[in-house]
Amino acid sequence: MRRSLLLIPALILALQIFIHAPAGRGEDPAPADDTQEETKKLNELIEKSVDWYDVAVDPSFRNPLVPKPVLRWRNVQRKQDGEAMMVIWCHHGRPEAMASIYPWLGNLHHEFGSLARTSRILARDRGSVVWDPNTAGVEFHDLPDGPEPAESPVARLRQMKSIAERFSATMTGWKGDNSDREELRLLPRALYRYELKDALGPYPDLHDGALFAFVLGTDPEVVLVIEAIRRGDEKVWQYAFARATSGGLEARLDGKKVWVGEKFPANRNHTSPQITLGRPIPQ
């Protein structure tokens, strides 16, 4: 009991110090509120930025393509702020261009990639053409040992999912020794299934198609394009890859390497199939 009584003054003093001490950084809700508000504003800006650029297949831009968000994602490993987005632009149901929209170092970037079988794609920023690739965006290859495309749209979607699962992808990163190499994960659902009801005019040989993504976390790094095309009296499956990063990439089919995306592509040239455009984020 004596020992307990001796402890009472010390406990009272400690309580007084605690009550009058200034609140610590972790106890002050203001910074958290400020961060949430900044993130909200950034996400709103990302949503609005979908319409920043006009994308078209016609140099006159009389009929610009309509942007379609297909994926919202975060990359915690790279300390990304806000909720980034992947957007595609379709011409009569077939995707011709894509862009990852994300904040980085004070700018909001649109990382464009062409999905066109020809060089026919353009982008315009406030009246000026800023992207005009002079080559096709993707290179298609026949799928070996593939099934004949089914007659039913539902069955063809099952076929495309099964085909996508035959592929794997690796991000070889940015370092010269590939020490930042990481295996990517195939998203189980297609990013986009082609809408083909109006496609037979501009794409008479196209029978079906879909986009699939290989991701790091939920961040798409490479897009797999699968299409069924008519070739004379037969129909065949074809595939192609489109990069969604400046890091190195590899893709394999049934374990065999079939595609390589080199590190640091020329993505500042307006005639390249890939280009990164940025605007400062308002403070």
Judged against a pLDDT cut of 50, whether residue 22 lies above it is answered with no
What would the two tokens of residue 134 be?
């002079």
Residue 195 lies in a domain: yes
Distance between CA 222 and CA 205 in Å, rounded?
25
What would the two tokens of residue 55 be?
């994308």
Judged against a pLDDT cut of 70, whether residue 68 lies above it is answered with yes
Residue 27 lies in a domain: no
Residue 15 lies in a domain: no
Q: Which region among 73-82, 106-115, 175-184, 267-276 has the lowest average model confidence (pLDDT)?
A: 73-82
CA dihedral 136, 142, 148, 154 (to 10 degrees): -40
Closest CA to 115 of 222, 200, 232, 265: 222
What was the pLDDT predicted at 27? 39
Residue 25 lies in a domain: no
Number of independent structural domains in the chain: 1
What was the pLDDT predicted at 32? 54
Residue 221 lies in a domain: yes
One-character DSSP codes across 90-153: EETTEEEEEEEEEEETTEEEEEEEE--SSS--EEEETTEEEE--SS-S---EEPTTPPPPPSSH
Per the structure, the complete domain to which residue 260 belongs is given by: 35-280
Judged against a pLDDT cut of 50, whether residue 19 lies above it is answered with no
* C-alpha 240: how far from chain center: 16
Residue 84 lies in a domain: yes
Residue 14 lies in a domain: no
Residue 9 lies in a domain: no
The whole-number average pLDDT for the span 138-167 is: 97
What would the two tokens of residue 27 be?
């106890």
Q: What is the DSSP letter of 273?
A: S
Judged against a pLDDT cut of 60, whether residue 51 lies above it is answered with yes
* C-alpha 103: how far from chain center: 13
The whole-number average pLDDT for the span 9-23 is: 39
